[in-house]
Amino acid sequence: MKRTTCAACGHPELDQFLDLGQSPIADAYTATADEESPIFPLQVAVCAKCKLVQLLEVVPAEALFGTGYSFYSSASAPLSAYHRAYADDVMARHGDLVTRRGVVEVGCNDGDLLRHFQHVRHLGVDPSTGPAAAAIERGCVVLPEPFGLLAAEQIRSIDSTFGVVIANHVLAHVEDVSDCLAGIAHLLHGGGVAIVEVQYLPDLLVNNAFDLVYHEHRNFFSLSNLEQAAQRHGLYVMNAELTNRQGGSLRVTLSPSHHFAAQPSRVTVLRASEGWLDSLSAYEGMQGRAERIRTRLLDLLAQHDQVAAYGAPAKLTTLLSFCGLDASTIRWCVDTTEAKQGRFIPGAGIPIVAPGTSERPDAYLLAAHNYLGPIVSANPGNRWIVPFPAPVIL
């Protein structure tokens, strides 16, 4: 189904600026090399009114987050460490609210962050069957359903409001941004804070990181477009800061009240730094840059006899699909996630293997390029092809 109105403000004018062709669902790793993967258009547009960047194709949630969904937060050691620090930060800043009124985590996945709040009143909400079951198994209280105003009303009808709502890399995944924010506002009802983290759109644009575009990522945020979307539901920006997750993320603290102390100056500085996003030219160069990256990457790959990929993140599917690459060029893919090992990259039929189980290729395509530093230093002596922000050999 193709979107005709903005996911945040409902405006009907969506300007398409990037067309990555047809691509499989990025996380739907297949059981065999030749198993057919359904493909869907991957086109990105910006709302002419609120500047929310969004996918035009809305793939049904069941297809994206059903039983095949294989992303488990706790499988990634760096992500688990990130969650521990995140929980410490929430306790340091809002410990009183957490203790008195409890925490809801929207999109709790397998409970990797929520487990740090198990000692207080807590609730996770997540529609992905496998990860939600894993969260329940580790002792978290979980509502295994999609989140929006309806779910928030259901929670309120059997429980009271909460002091802190965490939505960590969730708003990108929802079909209706407005409904999700309405649900968050409903859970807080007049007090408390929502801590919302999203991938940071300006970093994606500046780094040419078109591989971060895949069907699960329906929406892309800046402080400016997020602030507009939140204010429509009576949620106001208290604080905002940039973090390192996923190649550059934005963490925003929202409050249902205007009456908080002045915003830190970094919020004003950040907002001012986003002035360029008001112009369509901020988006329009992306297609040409993606195509130049494809040409250069194919050229670098052709210089090596045997290439494997390092890391099988969802974004690798977009990169391979857009570049027309399969197992004839990328022979195998090394990944530390057990659930992915023995499976294949959708659409490309590339086998995923555990580290240390294959020979050393002439070069690795560094798919998990957001972990460039740790991966390269932990695996010395290899040749690396790094695709972004412009393809280079290390």
Which residues would be at the binding site for Zn ion (CB under 5 A)?
6, 8-9, 11, 47, 49-50, 52
Contact assessment for residue 215 and residue 165, using Cβ atoms and an 8 Å cutoff: no
Comparison of 8 and 134: residue with beta carbon closer to Zn ion: 8
Token reading at 10: 């409902």
Comparison of 52 and 366: residue with beta carbon closer to Zn ion: 52
State the sign of the Cα–Cα–Cα–Cα dihedral 309, 341, 74, 211: positive
Contact assessment for residue 248 and residue 199, using Cβ atoms and an 8 Å cutoff: yes
Compute, in degrees rounded to 10, the torsion defined by CA atoms 369, 177, 182, 106.
Answer: -30
Coil, strand or helix at 299: helix
188: which DSSP letter?
H
Comparison of 109 and 178: residue with beta carbon closer to Zn ion: 178
Comparison of 232 and 271: residue with beta carbon closer to Zn ion: 232
Token reading at 290: 């993606």
Give the chain's count of helices (H) and strands (E): 12, 17
Residue 11 Cβ vs Zn ion, minimum distance, rounded to whole Å: 4
Coil, strand or helix at 309: strand
Residue 52 Cβ vs Zn ion, minimum distance, rounded to whole Å: 5
Angle at 242 between CA 69 and CA 9, to 5 degrees: 65
Phi and psi torsions of 108, nearest 5°:
-80, -10
51: which DSSP letter?
-
Token reading at 248: 């550059």
Residue 357 Cβ vs Zn ion, minimum distance, rounded to whole Å: 47
Task: Sort strands 236-243 and 249-255 into parallel, antiparallel or unpaired.
Answer: antiparallel
The rounded distance, in Å, linking the Cα atoms of 195 and 212 is 22
Contact assessment for residue 320 and residue 307, using Cβ atoms and an 8 Å cutoff: no
Q: What string of DSSP letters covers 227-276?
A: HHHHHTTT-EEEEEEEE-GGGSEEEEEEES-S-SSPPPHHHHHHHHHTGG
Residue 275 Cβ vs Zn ion, minimum distance, rounded to whole Å: 18
H/E stretch holding 153 reads helix 149-158
